[in-house]
Amino acid sequence: MNVDFDIDSILARYNFDSSALIQILSDVQDKYGYLPREVLEDISQKIEVSLSKMWGVISFYALFKLKPPAKYNITVCQGTACHVSGAKRNLEYIESKLNLKAGEHSPDGKYSLETVACIGSCALAPTIVINGKVYGRNTVKTIDKLLSRLEEGEKK
């Protein structure tokens, strides 16, 4: 990914104030989809916050990503309603089908897989989210169809 390193417009919104680090990181991630190392180094210099302090913030908050987003970002809800409706079985199926564990990206950058505590769609349990779109009442069979559609889209 070619990254535009001019982030001064984001930093200016916060007057280059280091106390706005979380907001700055959030805005940068909104812009790039993740937090590129080169951009973090630039921020570190411009707001005078060490990379180690930034790393502490980034690693504390699960919302921050250090890898570019995959083409297909798959999130499996693990909330109570989803859990009792088969989320664990669905996650295990996706992991085996894609040869990924939750928290991983495929080497080709095509898939990422993660879990969340709840996506707030309990009436549709068990749910998964693919690139922001919620799919409910999933079974291994429906997940297989979803993954097949993604693969078919790749071939077109």
Residue 127 lies in a domain: yes
Confidence label for 35 from pLDDT (cuts 50, 70 and 90): very high
Task: Tell me whether residue 66 is in a domain.
Answer: no
Is residue 78 domain-shared with residue 145, that is, in the same domain? yes
Going by pLDDT thresholds of 50, 70 and 90, the confidence category of residue 49 is very high
Measured in degrees and rounded to the nearest 5, phi and psi for residue 104 equal -105, 160
- Check which CATH number belongs to the domain holding 76 and give it: 3.40.30.10
Task: Give a yes or no: residue 14 inside a domain.
Answer: yes
> Residue 103: inside a domain, yes or no?
yes
pLDDT band at 28 (very low <50, low <70, confident <90, very high): very high
d(CA 93, CA 102) in angstroms, rounded, equals 11
H or E, element range at 112 = strand 111-116
In the predicted model, is pLDDT for residue 7 greater than 50? yes
Identify whether residues 92 and 20 lie together within a single domain: no
65 inside domain? no
How high is the pLDDT of residue 98?
A: 96
Share of the chain above pLDDT 90, in %: 89
72 and 132 Cβ atoms separated by less than 8 Å: no
Block residue for tokens 């991630």: 29
Q: Is 1 among the domain residues?
A: no
Work out the mean pLDDT of the chain and round it to a whole number.
93
Per-residue pLDDT, averaged over 126-143, amounts to 97
Residue 149 lies in a domain: yes
Domain extent for 94: 72-155
